[in-house]
């Protein structure tokens, strides 16, 4: 029984082709391309307003050098939100429940921020490994601890996104299974459980959006330390 709960996180195949590639490319098909006209429809206007507000809020603490990442951060945010939201639909697959995909996004972007810091301001970047005023006997220990914490950052990014989405999907499936089991025996309890399931689904929608925002926000904070 427990194996069936985790089957939803296995990448599906069709004619030997992994459908995770289709799931990753699908979000870009759903968003309309802004036309060259001055007057746009309401959907494109709402999409543009959301992206502009998010980008302005995200890049507010960064200097001018970090504004080059605006397009990348906005695209990543829209991509993660769309994938997470589509994964809440029935009979769909959520690629962001795969740790390999999340690490594939987290490691290169984190490494890019570190390389930028080492290239532009190596003294400041290396200075983060040793806080000012550290006693001499503690210098080797603190350097090791700060180095480990630096390399844990991409792992924390990927694991946080994977764990939150996986836990939410498992909880929804467990409660939905309980509703179907209780419905013929205790209809009143089943209806109450279904109400809890509806509220949990709304919470999971919020989690899907918040986790995408947190992922991009932490990347912007890492960039802020290195530009």
Q: Report how far residue 216's alpha carbon sits from residue 84's, in angstroms, rounded to the nearest whole number.
A: 14
Q: Residue written as tokens 């603490």?
A: 61
Residue spans of alpha helices (H) in the chain: 2-6, 20-30, 42-59, 70-86, 99-120, 122-127, 139-182, 187-224
3-state SS assignment for residue 60: coil
Collect all residues with Cβ–Cβ distance below 8 Å to 31 and sequence separation of at least 6: 47, 78, 82
For residue 227 the two structure tokens come to 């530009």
**DSSP string of 95-113, one letter each residue:** GGG-HHHHHHHHHHHHHHH
Are the C-beta atoms of 31 and 78 separated by less than 8 Å? yes
Q: Report how far residue 143's alpha carbon sits from residue 128's, in angstroms, rounded to the nearest whole number.
A: 9
pLDDT at 40 (0 to 100): 65
Q: How confident is the model over 58-70, as pLDDT tens digits?
A: 777 777 777 888 8
**Low-confidence residues in the chain, pLDDT < 70:** 1-9, 32-40
CA distance to 38, 62, 77, 125, 193, per residue, from 223 (Å) = 35, 8, 16, 11, 44
pLDDT at 23 (0 to 100): 76
Q: Report how far residue 220's alpha carbon sits from residue 202's, in angstroms, rounded to the nearest whole number.
A: 27
Q: How confident is the model over 113-136, as pLDDT tens digits?
A: 999 888 888 887 787 787 777 788
Are the C-beta atoms of 26 and 86 separated by less than 8 Å? yes
pLDDT at 39 (0 to 100): 60
Q: How confident is the model over 27-60, as pLDDT tens digits?
A: 777 776 666 666 667 777 787 788 888 888 877 7
For residue 162 the two structure tokens come to 């994977």
Long-range contacts of 123-129 (CB under 8 A, 24+ apart): 125/225, 125/226, 128/225
Q: Report how far residue 16's alpha carbon sits from residue 5's, in angstroms, rounded to the nearest whole number.
A: 23
pLDDT at 1 (0 to 100): 43
Buried b (16+ CB within 10 A) or exposed e, 80-97: bbbbbbbbbeeeebbbbb
Let me know how long the chain is.
227
The model's pTM is 0.83
């Amino acid at each position: 029984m427990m194996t069936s709960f985790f089957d939803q996180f296995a990448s599906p195949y069709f004619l030997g082709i992994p459908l995770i590639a289709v799931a990753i490319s699908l979000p870009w098909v759903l968003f309309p391309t802004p036309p060259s006209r001055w007057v746009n429809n309401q959907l494109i206007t709402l999409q543009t307003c959301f992206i502009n507000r998010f980008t302005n809020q995200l890049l507010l603490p960064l200097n001018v050098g970090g504004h080059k990442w605006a397009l990348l951060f906005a695209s990543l945010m829209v991509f993660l939100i769309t994938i997470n939201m589509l994964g809440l639909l029935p009979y769909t697959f959520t690629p962001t429940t795969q740790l390999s995909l999340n690490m594939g996004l987290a490691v290169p972007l984190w490494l890019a921020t570190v390389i930028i810091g080492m290239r532009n301001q190596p003294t400041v970047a290396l200075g983060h490994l040793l806080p000012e005023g550290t006693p001499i006997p503690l210098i080797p220990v603190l350097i090791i601890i700060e180095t480990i914490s630096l390399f844990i950052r991409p792992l924390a990014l990927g694991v946080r996104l994977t764990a939150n989405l996986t836990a939410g999907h498992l909880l929804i499936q467990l409660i939905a299974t309980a509703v179907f089991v209780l419905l013929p025996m205790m209809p009143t309890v089943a209806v109450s459980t279904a109400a809890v399931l509806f509220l949990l689904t709304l919470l999971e929608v919020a989690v899907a959006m918040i986790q995408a925002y947190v992922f991009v926000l932490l990347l912007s904070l890492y960039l802020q330390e290195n530009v």
